[in-house]
Amino acid sequence: MSRNTRQVVQLVGVGLVLVLLVVLFVATRGGSSTSTTGVSSGNRSAVATAKATAGSTGAKTATTRGSEGVDPDSGLRWVAESSLPKEAKTTLGLIRAGGPYPYPRNDDQTFSNREAILPKRANGYYREYTVVTPGSDDRGARRIIRGREGELYYTDDHYGSFRRVREGA
């Protein structure tokens, strides 16, 4: 085997190891797929990479993202308010009315964004609200998160993923 062939084989091997490491990282972060529930933290880095690549290569990724249903500010998929479960719509009504909330000790409290899926903001920026889950004997996994500027996010898997709520849609 020639020296050049060995170098190519070594580079391919290194590339495969890197790809496997990325796949393992994404899989352990719960982001092995981009379902309709949102973009996981692992996939957010892929979105950021795609945006950077688009800027450097002149690709149209940044301009087509909005048409794919992705909020350009958060990198999360949009969900129409009208397509949310009725309990989520009820929670949105309570948020707009200022309460009262079904879990007053937990609702309208600071959401710390420890998962770092939502855009990074100062502590206290986000507030959390329970979306009642019928048949559950606890708060369940569904929440609406509201940012200080009024933006809304929905999760149905207890912060594993989020979608940005498109109000009035």
Tens digit of each residue's pLDDT (9 = 90 or more) over 74-132? 999 999 999 999 999 999 999 999 999 999 999 999 999 999 999 999 999 999 999 99
Model pTM score: 0.61
Q: Is 81 an annotated catalytic residue?
A: no
Alpha-carbon dihedral 44, 114, 158, 133, rounded to 10 degrees: -130
Encode burial over 52-77: b for 16+ CB neighbours within 10 A, e otherwise.
eebeeeeeeeeeebeeeebbeebbbb
Q: pLDDT at residue 5 above 50? A: yes
pLDDT for residue 77:
97
**Nearest 5°: CA angle at 136, between 104 and 31?**
95
pLDDT average, residue stretch 25-49:
41
Residue ranges in the chain assigned as alpha helix (H): 3-28, 41-57, 61-64, 86-97
Which of 68, 81, 87, 158 does the annotation list as catalytic?
Answer: 158
Domain extent listing, the chain? 3-68, 78-166
Fold annotation for 78-166: Nuclear Transport Factor 2; Chain: A, (3.10.450)
Question: Out of 128, 149, 151, 167, which one is annotated catalytic?
Answer: 128
- Separation between Cα atoms, residue 26 and residue 35, nearest integer Å: 14
Residue with tokens 């309208």, as numbered in its chain: 108
Catalytic residue check, 128: yes
